[in-house]
């Protein structure tokens, strides 16, 4: 039975990626797309690559009719979701792709996002959307808060290791390489091709990147104690993809075994044979995450490298995976699209 779907914020990259995935999803039927600044326009004028699809025109959020809707994907900018989601009828399920409901602790939210949270009651109902670790809660949830794309990548590398106690929790270093689409479609000087081609640029270093709030929350939950990772993000001359290189203290063989066991039955998370290193393009435009583990000539050190596509597994693919569960569908429905290489 087709599920009636609306996408709020369809004019952004994660909105367009949702449409791309749903275009070949067996059960989802897009009945509404909102895009405030583009309201009244056909989706094909905002994203001509979707020209072949019969899609509803963009409307404003106010025009959205919730009757008959099964689920709304909310791909609005950060801070906007808080204002909008509380007014969605309870009968409609919601997957939020913004940062607004990821942090359970209102003080943590205020610290990382610089202002108090405006929908504290709703926040209490949100399930953190990292499917592989919250599958049961998501299955029964009405409201799921999608994770940060970088936070997802790092957690796939770390959470099983933290849970298993096989690495030193006080010495976790993460070197992040991130493509530009994670920063969205809004025009900013430092995201221009002129600026970034042939360039790599560190940013938000020194413990200031907002996704650290998610790491703090989820790693503490996995460890049963506070964990403070180090993270240095670098912007890449590429449009899609994330590589997270994690420098860990622990026995590399045990690290590999732990990760391999944790993801043995997962459809989307693939741990490579010990010593093999993943590359970013191998998961491009797909819902897969590849993880490699290697030891070092320095004993007791393991390097774990995880890669995924920020717009797919890091955001819109993850959202569809969660929606599948929430709607009682096969978790992988519509998501087995193979990566695009080269």
Of 144, 110, 109, the closest CA to residue 126 belongs to 144
Which of 83, 110, 120, 200 touches a copy of itself (CB under 8 A)? 200
| 317 in contact with a copy of itself (CB under 8 A) | no
Tell me the closest approach of the beta carbon of residue 249 to a copy of itself, in angstroms.
9
| 16 in contact with a copy of itself (CB under 8 A) | yes
What are the beta bridge partners of residue 22?
none
| 327 in contact with a copy of itself (CB under 8 A) | no
- The residue (of 110 and 205) whose beta carbon lies closer to a copy of itself is 205
Q: How many whole angstroms separate alpha carbon 128 and alpha carbon 131?
A: 8
The catalytic site residues sit at 149
Tell me the closest approach of the beta carbon of residue 54 to a copy of itself, in angstroms.
12
Plot region of 132 (φ>0 → left; ψ -120 to 50 → alpha; else → beta): alpha
Residues in 280-309 that interact with a copy of itself by CB under 8 A: 280-286, 288, 290, 292, 294-298, 301, 303, 305, 307
Q: How many whole angstroms separate alpha carbon 200 and alpha carbon 236?
A: 5
Q: How many whole angstroms separate alpha carbon 47 and alpha carbon 162?
A: 41
Tokens representing 137? Answer: 């809660």
Q: How many whole angstroms separate alpha carbon 78 and alpha carbon 52?
A: 30
| 135 in contact with a copy of itself (CB under 8 A) | no
Which of 38, 240, 256, 313 touches a copy of itself (CB under 8 A)? 240
Which three-class secondary structure state does DSSP give residue 309?
coil
Number of residues interacting with a copy of itself: please give it, by CB under 8 A: 91
Plot region of 87 (φ>0 → left; ψ -120 to 50 → alpha; else → beta): alpha
- The residue (of 101 and 233) whose beta carbon lies closer to a copy of itself is 233
| 228 in contact with a copy of itself (CB under 8 A) | yes
Of 146, 168, 153, the closest CA to residue 250 belongs to 168
Which of 50, 92, 327, 333 touches a copy of itself (CB under 8 A)? 50
Tell me the closest approach of the beta carbon of residue 340 to a copy of itself, in angstroms.
4
| 93 in contact with a copy of itself (CB under 8 A) | no
């Amino acid at each position: 039975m087709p599920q009636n779907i609306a996408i709020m914020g369809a004019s952004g990259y994660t909105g367009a990626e949702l449409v791309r995935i749903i275009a070949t999803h067996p059960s989802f039927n897009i009945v509404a797309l909102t895009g405030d600044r583009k309201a009244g326009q056909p989706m094909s004028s905002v994203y001509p690559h979707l020209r072949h699809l019969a899609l509803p025109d963009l409307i404003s959020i106010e025009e959205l009719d919730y009757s008959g809707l099964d689920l709304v994907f909310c791909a609005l900018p950060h801070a906007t979701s808080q204002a909008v989601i509380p007014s969605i009828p309870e009968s409609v399920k919601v997957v939020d792709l913004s940062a607004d409901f990821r942090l359970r602790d209102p003080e943590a939210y205020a610290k990382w996002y610089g202002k108090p949270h405006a929908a504290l009651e709703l926040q209490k109902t949100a399930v953190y959307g990292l499917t592989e670790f919250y599958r049961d809660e998501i299955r029964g949830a009405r409201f799921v808060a999608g994770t940060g794309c970088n936070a997802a990548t790092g957690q796939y590398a770390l959470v099983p290791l933290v849970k298993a106690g096989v690495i030193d929790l006080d010495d976790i270093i993460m070197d992040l390489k991130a493509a530009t689409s994670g920063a969205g479609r809004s025009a900013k000087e430092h995201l221009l091709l002129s600026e970034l081609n042939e360039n790599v640029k560190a940013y938000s270093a020194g413990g200031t990147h907002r996704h650290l709030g998610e790491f703090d929350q989820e790693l503490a939950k996995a460890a049963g104690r506070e964990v403070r990772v180090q993270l240095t993000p670098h912007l890449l001359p590429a449009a899609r993809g994330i590589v997270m290189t994690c420098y860990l203290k622990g026995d590399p063989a045990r690290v590999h075994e732990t990760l391999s066991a944790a993801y043995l039955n997962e459809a989307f998370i693939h741990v490579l044979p010990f010593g093999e290193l993943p590359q970013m393009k191998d998961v491009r435009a797909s819902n897969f995450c590849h993880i490699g583990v290697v030891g070092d000539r320095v004993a007791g050190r393991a390097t774990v490298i995880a890669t995924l596509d920020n717009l797919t597994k890091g955001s819109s693919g993850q959202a569809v995976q969660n929606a599948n569960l929430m709607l009682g569908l096969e978790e992988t429905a519509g998501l087995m699209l193979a990566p695009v290489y080269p």
